[in-house]
Amino acid sequence: MFYELHTRSAFSFLASGSMPEAIVERASELNIPGVALLDRDTVSGAVRFHFEAKEIGVKPMIGAEITMDDGSLLPLLPIDLTGYQNLCKLITTVKLRHTKGEHFATRKDIEEHSANLICLTGGQDGFMHARVKCGDGQRDLAWLNYVFEKRLYVELQRHYLRSEEDVNQQLVGLAHKLHLPTFASNGAYYADKQDRELFDVFTCIKNHCTIYDAGKILSQNAERHLKSQDQMLRLFEEFPDAVARTREIADRITFSMDDVGYTFPDFPVPRGETMDSLLRTLSEKGAVDRYGKMTPNIQSKLDHELKLIEKLKLAGYFLLVWDISNFCKSRRILSQGRGSAANSVVCYALGITAVDPIAGELLFERFLSEERGEYPDIDIDLPSGDDRETVIQHVYEKYGPRGSAMTANVITYRGRSAVREVGKVFGFPEEQIGMLSKSISHYGVSDFGEMLERFEENGFHLGEDHRTRKFIELYTRILDFPRHLGQHSGGMVVSWQRLDGVVPIEPASMENRNIIQWDKDDCERLNIVKVDLLGLGMMAVLRDTITLIEENRGETIDMGKLPQDDPVVYKTLQEGDTIGMFQVESRAQINFLPRSKPTTFYDIVVQVAIIRPGPIVGKMLSAYIRRRQGQEEVDYIHPWLESTLKRTLGVPLFQEQLLRMSMIMAGFTGGQAEELRRAMGFKRADKRLPKIEANLREGMTRNGIDEPTQDRIVQNITAFSNYGFPESHAASFALLAYASAYLKVHYLAEFTTAMLNNYPLGFYVPATLIKDAQRHGLHFRHVDINRSDYPCTIEDGELRIGLKYVKGLREEVANAIVAERDGVSSPTVREGAAENVGDEIPDAKLESEIQNPKSKIQNLFISIDDLVRRVPIINKKEIRALSLAGALNFDKQVHRREALWNSELAIQPEGELLNAQFTMHNAQSPNPRSKIENPKFINRMTEWQAMETDLETMHITIGKHPMAFLRDDLNKRGVLSSIEIHRLPKGELVTVAGAVIVRQRPGTGNSVVFITMEDETGHSNFIVMPDTFERFRRVITHSNFLLIKGISETDNMIKGLYFEPINDFMTEIRSHDFH
């Protein structure tokens, strides 16, 4: 019986043409009973390989090819768990010793980690191949034999290559001489012969060449695919023992990925305590703090959870997360647990989560059940940036660099990257590749015809020739192949034993970060505990808003004690006036809020969950809104489900409802219900659902449920597909949504400042946030090097734009400007300045401060020369940028154009010759550059010009909205403003113009495109049907300002029929496109 003991997968990154699953599937087709996966210096593909092989009945064997210091590869296969641990530690040692991307093992490394590992000699790129060709084979083979003793096998591969055959004959002779066994392998780089093309594409990508220039670096033939036993016996007809010996080697290998030796760390407890007793003590104390007193209901739920946690030996996990949460509190770092953890009273009592699961009637079994057979998953939201990094480094320090690491994120080839890389391989011009990749990333491609249209649109007038077809075929095949390992957004794994004995660890691209070679799904399948420390931009906004309120108003805001019934907040939500508010600011949310009119916190929970693919696909939105508005009677399907579906008006929205429905109607246990939920989210749900549906129907039949009702229940449950949203998750997000709404309506200046300082986040660009804040009465002050800090700040209740918004100004230069201006003992300048509109009117107070030597502030900059002298790291481009942004208007004699003129003379040209000429010219000039008078012909910018320059240099403007300048002309043409169209009845023909701020094509929209435009009065929303979009594709996707004719629909939506660009504006604006 032949076993293939040496294959590579796509997780060797550019060194294979097949995914691990494809290798297993092809092995099964060829009746190969077992396959070994040996990717290069990694086990990244091992978990998916293992589970796929188990599912279809192929024995999976895991190993790796180790890169040696001469560039050759040494294949190693673990016999048992000890061998696997040695392999992981070997890879970790090699990876952590070098920078990311550069690594190799020494002979000493191999000797120190060789125990219980089988060594294969490899193929053409193997350790022995080059040595045999050079005549040094016996000495090196003897060294391997010494290190691995009776675990060394001489590998024979045949791919019809003369050079390979010569080496094989020498290897057979050496094996005989040293009494070593041989075995046969095809050294498969891909599953099937047709995958050779993809392997060649990866070879070209790796070597940065086209397929036409690749020459000898490509495979000489397509023989490196999996072959059957009969094929291998024919190939090695004179060495039948080498084929048969593959079974002997496979039989020696007992290691399985089912047990990788992972144990979760014990949590250190005081003497006399156990982890379980400490968890109970902390939980009961926390419950009293949370609820005020311990009622029988609270105690009962707490006891139920604690008993299950103890039974499953999970106390250490809860204590670890509690410790992280406690660390955040000690450092005043805002944190909140979310996800299914919010279903737990223990998590709420420990202060990990902020949602009361008892008041919210949340289902604990969604978080943890005995039948589930895996660790729970707790996500902690943290402010993105330094706070989150502080918490991550705390975990590293506590558990050590080899006891903790981030999970990996497998970065795959997507539309844009696939087009770009394959296009380079085919030698397409860079400009055309860029244009094509941009269109692909926006709209996706479903078939050859659509891709060909993209070719024609972007100048590839190639017709349906072979080259084009092959490009499209390979582009399609490369999609979802792994490119490299990245870093997960926040998942951390910790282990009681050395983590590098469980999975190899390697350096991340980010400094002071390590990652394991598995992603979150791999960890979940192996029951490896992961704690997600997620950076959330809104958490940073809330933190900064609270800090600014304390600094500017002296008020202390406690996030946990915000009034939950503030009428101003609910009025704002009901009006859909929610730009900048967490989770309720999208176009769909803004349209839906005036119809749903939330009046309670739970209404916000529903609001967060209902604008999701699941409810949309299942047509639940319409039913819910009709029932909420009293237009349709609430239907609970069956009286038993009223308690479960009452709060969502008979419409199942949440995963917890799905679990309860199956438990009530079919008598499922919590674990069985969770299995149903997981099956529906499984990628191959169609394989698992029929069996579970049969169990569901069987249970309902036992409970006397009639068949029509069963059909309706099954239909409702299957409509969830993999889109169902957790109620606990929605409740956690609803807390943040409410908090953001409360802070925006009551503390607009502080909230807007925090939003601008934490951009990018949310749905809208800063220009939109600023115009929205201005419509709500907030005044802004222009960027000014004598007033602005690097971030935006608040001056007398008005928002001062920060230096960070000047495009092209380095952060280090901006901070140097602020430090030099403020000095060590000088306070930051924050006193009043008039709002600057157009070409700014200088601040009278600033002028007096400059002219008064006794002013308490004596470090203000008085000229560009002064700035250059005191901040020598600034360069001419940065001075020019500051000039155009209006940040260098030192006194009323200097405006933007004058500042720009002076900036050209401010810094000496680079280069010795130019520098010498410049110095000599100034030395001879009777008027040094600091004395040059501004020419009289330079006029101030008009408001229009200042607005365009603002948008060009900062992507924002605090003056008039661009559309305000065109309003008179638009009125004459009958073009309506955004505020006017909201008053129109359905069916009216309208014409609207504005700046495009959102282009969106939802995954559930059947190619429908949504556009949001903004003018000086507000926003207008448009729906574009597929045929109309195809007619006006280029105009819609490339124009920053549009004039649209259409028909008014319900819900403040216009059906766009005709589109034309507005070319009055030469500048580019930012928009939120197709995200």
Secondary structure of 73-106 as H, E, C letters? EEEEEECCHHHHHHHHHHHHHHHHHCCCCCCCEC
Q: Kind of pairing, strands 514-519 and 505-507?
A: antiparallel
What per-residue confidence (pLDDT) applies to 146? 97
For residue range 455-496, list pLDDT tens digits in order.
666 556 555 567 878 888 898 899 999 999 998 888 899 887
pLDDT tens-place string over residues 328-377: 999 999 999 988 899 999 999 999 999 999 998 998 988 888 876 667 88
Q: 438 or 804, which is more confident?
A: 804
Q: Determine the average pLDDT of the residues in 820-847.
A: 48
Quote the DSSP letter at residue 223. -
Where residue 281 falls among pLDDT bands split at 50, 70, 90?
A: very high
For residue 760, is the peptide bond before it cis, meaning its omega torsion is within 30 degrees of 0? Answer: yes
Domain boundary assignment for the chain:
4-252, 274-330+339-375, 414-479, 564-736, 776-954, 962-1073
Q: Do domains 4-252 and 962-1073 have the same CATH topology?
A: no
Report the 10 Å Cβ neighbour count for 99: 9
What are the distances in angstroms from CA 197 to CA 200, 201, 224, 225?
5, 6, 12, 12
Residue percentage of the chain with pLDDT more than 90: 66
Q: What is the pLDDT of residue 856?
A: 40
Architecture of domain 4-252: Alpha-Beta Barrel (3.20)
For residue 854, the model assigns a pLDDT of 39
Q: Which of 49-63, 787-801, 927-941 has the lowest mean pLDDT?
A: 927-941
Predicted local distance difference test score (pLDDT) of residue 173: 95
Q: In the prediction, which pLDDT does 914 show?
A: 45
Please count the CA atoms within 13 angstroms of the CA of 370 that sit on its side-chain side.
Answer: 8
**Per-residue pLDDT tens digits for 891-924:** 655 788 888 888 887 765 555 544 554 445 444 4
Number of Cβ within a 10 Å radius of residue 629: 11
**Structure confidence at residue 512 (pLDDT):** 83
Q: Is the predicted pLDDT of residue 1043 greater than 50, yes or no?
A: yes
Q: How high does pLDDT run on average in the chain?
A: 87
For the stretch 685-736, pLDDT in tens is 455 677 888 889 999 999 999 999 999 988 877 766 556 688 999 999 999 9
Work out the pLDDT band at 53, boundaries 50, 70, 90. Answer: very high
1005 token code pair: 């929209």
- What number is the average pLDDT over the span 316-337? 94
Number of Cβ atoms within 10 Å of the Cβ of 63 = 27
Which pLDDT does position 877 carry in this prediction?
94
* 3-state DSSP assignment of residue 268: coil
Give the number of other Cβ atoms within 10 Å of residue 1065's Cβ: 20
Q: Which amino acid is at 418?
A: A
Residue 1008 confidence (pLDDT): 86
> Does residue 639 contact residue 338 with C-beta atoms inside 8 Å?
no
Which has the higher per-residue pLDDT, 1000 or 809? Answer: 809
Give 345's strand partners. none
Q: What is the pLDDT of residues 959-987, one digit of tens each?
A: 999 999 999 999 999 999 999 988 788 89
Enumerate long-range contacts of 1045-1048, CB under 8 Å, 24 or more apart.
1045/989, 1045/990, 1045/991, 1046/989, 1046/990, 1046/992, 1046/1022, 1047/987, 1047/988, 1047/989, 1047/990, 1048/981, 1048/984, 1048/985, 1048/986, 1048/987, 1048/988, 1048/990
Full DSSP string of 332-378:
T---EEEGGGGG-HHHHHTTSB-S-TTTTT--GGGT--GGG-S---E
Which whole number is the average pLDDT over 43-47?
98
pLDDT of residue 456: 64
Considering only 47-51, 208-212, 811-815, 836-840, which range has the smallest mean pLDDT? 836-840
Cα–Cα distances in angstroms (integers) from residue 921 to residues 669, 838, 869, 903, 904, in the given order: 89, 36, 19, 17, 15
Whether the per-residue pLDDT at 23 is higher than 50: the answer is yes
Give the Cα separation of 803 and 822 in Å (integer).
Answer: 15
Residue 631 above 80 pLDDT? yes
CA distance 23 to 12: 13
Mention every residue, 6+ apart, whose C-beta is less than 8 A from residue 633. 627
Mode of pairing for the β-strands spanning 117-120 and 152-156: parallel
Whether residue 732 contacts residue 348, with contact meaning beta carbons closer than 8 Å, is answered with no
The total of other beta-carbon atoms located within 10 Å of residue 500's CB is 25
Assess contact for 355 and 347: CB atoms under 8 A: no
**pLDDT tens per residue, range 135-181:** 778 999 999 999 999 999 999 999 999 889 999 999 999 999 999 99
Give the pair of three-digit tokens for residue 119: 């060594």
Q: Is the pLDDT of residue 1063 over 90?
A: no
Q: Do the Cβ atoms of 897 and 940 come closer than 8 Å?
A: yes
Distance from chain centroid for Cα 854 = 54
Stronger pLDDT, 896 or 834, i.e. the higher one: 896
- The per-residue pLDDT for 849 is 47
Superfamily, domain 962-1073: Nucleic acid-binding proteins (2.40.50.140)
Which helix (H) or strand (E) segment is 303 a member of? helix 296-311
Would you tell me how many other CB atoms lie within 10 Å of the CB of residue 928? 11
pLDDT at 803 over 90: yes
Cα 479 to Cα 419: distance, rounded to the nearest angstrom: 9
Can you read off the two tokens belonging to residue 969? 């002309």
Whole-model pTM? 0.83
